[in-house]
Amino acid sequence: MTTSAPPVTASNPLKGILWMVVTGICFVAVTALVKTLGGRVPAAQSAFLRYLMGLVFLAPVWRQLTQVRLTPRQQRLFAGRGVVHTLGVILWFYAMSRIPIAEVTAMNYLNPVYVTILAVFVLGEKLALRRAMAVVAALIGALIILRPGFRELDPGHIAMLVTALLFAFSYLTTKILSDEVPATVIVAVLSITVTIGLAPFAAAVWVAPGLWDIAILAAVACFATAGHFTMTLAFAAAPVTVTQPVTFLQLIWSVAIGALFFSEPVDPWVILGGTVIMLAVAFITWREAVLRRARITPVVNEAKG
């Protein structure tokens, strides 16, 4: 007996690219807005207020959340992801108060590289030679940015290295849960667990925020939520291999904003290192797409019915 093939979603590369451009603008806006806080509000408190305000956007899914029944294993995965993501968010906000926007953006490109490495140990995936070489190239790109031994490293640099690693763990947990739980539930539970996780850290360093600081954090919550939504639209419109390279524009915008609004010097080493990392990530993304098509394409002698 044969079965009909699943419907194929029409690809619209231009639409996907445009949505990813909007996504990049939203995420760069988030970075710039956090930078404007200038350390007036402690990192943990800033992160807590941003996520607390973001809970407003979960109103449409509250009813769905009350009907979800998670298994003990899923509960542990969600709790673990919440802890890891909480620490990553605190370190990201801390890094933003210490190092230039362009460096934060460039080092954030290490996230998918870490995911590729961790997938070998956590999910048992195989790392082929070409992808392994791309990973090495990305790590070289990180060294170009940091230039240890040639300049003094700031604690913010270390914070960003750890941030990318923690977010990679969070992503892998999402990958595991995505086959079992609706995407809206995954996003909502993350927001709730991170807000709860940040609360004690925020309480320990709490200062009275000004109205302007609250307005900035509210804008951060809006842009962050919009960015995740438009990124979803981009992935739905076109393959990741089309949309991923567009994220390189974030580095260009970050350099421009840092120079124009925060008097941050344009560092050619950061641009070079970020470019190397982005090219490596684009290659890894392309190879994963090729391998995925190879796995779902029947071989010559494979039964198709």
Give the per-residue pLDDT at 148.
87
CB-based contacts of 280, cutoff 8 Å, min separation 6: 113, 134, 135, 137, 138, 141
Give the per-residue pLDDT at 300.
37
In the numeric block, which tokens belong to residue 89? 């968010």
Give the per-residue pLDDT at 215.
94
Give the per-residue pLDDT at 248.
84
Residue with tokens 């109205």: 211
Give the per-residue pLDDT at 10.
57
- pLDDT tens over the chain, length 305 residues: 444 444 444 578 888 889 989 999 998 999 899 988 878 899 999 999 999 998 888 888 778 777 888 889 999 999 999 999 999 999 999 998 889 999 999 998 898 889 888 888 887 878 788 888 989 999 999 999 999 878 888 999 999 999 999 999 988 888 888 778 887 788 888 889 999 999 999 999 999 999 999 999 999 999 988 888 888 788 778 877 778 778 888 899 999 999 999 899 999 999 999 999 989 988 888 877 776 665 543 333 433 34
State how far the Cα of 137 lies from the Cα of 82, in Å rounded to an integer. 31
What Cα–Cα distance (Å) separates residue 129 from each residue in 25, 118, 136, 284?
Answer: 35, 16, 11, 11
Give the per-residue pLDDT at 8.
43
